Amino acid sequence: MGLRFYLCFLALFSTFFISTLGLGHLCLPEEHVALFIFGDSVFDAGNNNYINTITDYQANYEPYGENFFKYSTGRFSDGRIIPDFIAEFANLPFITPYLHPGYHRYTDGANFASAGAGALAETHQEMVIDLKSQLNNFKNLESLLSKELGDAEAKKLLFRAVYIINVGSNDYAVPFTRNSSIFQSYTPEEYVDMVISNLTFVIEEIYKKGGRKFGFPNLPPLGCLPLARALIPGNTGACKQELTALAILHNKALSEVLQKLENELNGFKYSITDTYTILSERINSPLKYGFKEGNIACCGIGPYKGINSCGGKRSVKEYELCENASEYLFFDTGHLSEKAYQQFAEQMWSGTLNVTGPYNLKELFECCVRVVTYFECCVIMLLFEWAHSFCNVIAMKFLSFVWTWHSNACTC
């Protein structure tokens, strides 16, 4: 009786002690968390500067970047973009574009985003880095990290990291800007399903490499961007409803698939920010959010300055530039000003549940990620054997509870 009690107590105490203090795993909120970025021009910090493409998909010339960096960096804004602010909030440096020349250890993360990219490879094909190609770049970087840090350290870095993805706008805009007949072959629902399926594949592949914490802005009302309004004959002021309808379908499907992944993938956590509502509110009530103009872009030409000519390096050379970009919601035909991007980033970082959920990015960065070591697995298995041999059913249930708690990839 005494020996059995002693062994039972030892087993239970040891399990609790190991789970609490952690032998080998890293689970303190203050530990270093990297940021990996995927997507399109909303997140691209300059990758397209280094690929063979046309100026439609580049922003490495004036007046882009001039209000903050004082020179053009490849960011589609007058200054910083959303990932820059997220990095700042997380006490990280600006995340380096993956294709930026030079030696990089990437322990703070990497930016794979490419302006013009879509979830579909056919979107601006061979002119940009589509989402699956960005995934391939991430896999190459994972191999590099393993060589430089060792497999164990690289795995810990990828487990702790946060992954943010912004994609879809180009997939839906291209059929309208290029007068494509794609919707003669697919219903809107079928087309959205193709986009979401490709995005889901990429998420699952990142998960296989260790990714557990993901952040997504949903799509804005695409038909209300200056470039979309400019497509409507007669300059009526209306939004292009067919395009906005696709964004609504996409957002519903994205929300559903993320809930599904959370149920199916152990430790998968996500944040989704209601970009659709955030932008709609600022378009409709710009003064409330500190803007004088919510419909017309700062840089461009034509109705709403919706013709993509900002900088005069594209097919249309003429453009007009406002005096103060911070007074404008939109900087160019399809991208926001730095001031607007900061507001969006703040909502992604610390927004409440009515805007960002089920977690915000701040909560994901503070999540405790546990990497269970081989030694711990051996110890836990031995404890199970001891409990099974010497203890009662209650002890077994307690061990099972502790093991489940210990094995969770993320505790927020």
From the list 130, 335, 337, 406, the catalytic residue is 335
388 is catalytic: no
* Token code pair at residue 141: 């970087």
From 257, 122, 124, select the one nearest 200 (Cα to Cα). Answer: 257
Burial of 142-152, coded b for 16+ CB within 10 Å and e otherwise, reads beebbeebeee
Residues 329 and 77 sit within 8 Å (Cβ to Cβ)? no
How many other C-beta atoms can be found within 10 angstroms of the C-beta atom of residue 166? 24
The two three-digit tokens of residue 278, written as one number: 């955030």
Q: Is the dihedral of CA 236, 220, 306, 194 positive or negative?
A: negative
d(CA 41, CA 382): 52
Distance from C-alpha of 55 to C-alpha of 299, rounded to nearest angstrom:
16
Could you tell me which of 146, 129, 149 has the C-alpha nearest to residue 137? 129
Cα–Cα dist 9/109, whole Å: 44
Strand-pair partners of 214: 163, 270
Q: Which of the following is catalytic: 108, 171, 274, 332? A: 332
Nearest C-alpha neighbor of 189 from the set 107, 256, 115, 93: 256
Active-site residue, selected from the candidate residues 41, 72, 77, 271: 41
Tell me how far apart the alpha carbons of residues 259 and 278 are, in angstroms, rounded to a whole number. 22
Query: What's the chain's Rg over C-alpha atoms?
Result: 24
| Euclidean distance between CA atoms 183 and 154, whole angstroms | 44
Using the structure block, give the residue that is written with the tokens 């050379």. 317
Identify the burial level of 109 via C-beta atoms within 10 angstroms of its C-beta, where 0-12 means exposed, 13-18 middle and 19 or more buried.
buried
Cα separation of 293 and 340, whole Å?
A: 12
Active site (annotated) includes residue 41 = yes
Q: Which residues are catalytic?
A: 41, 332, 335
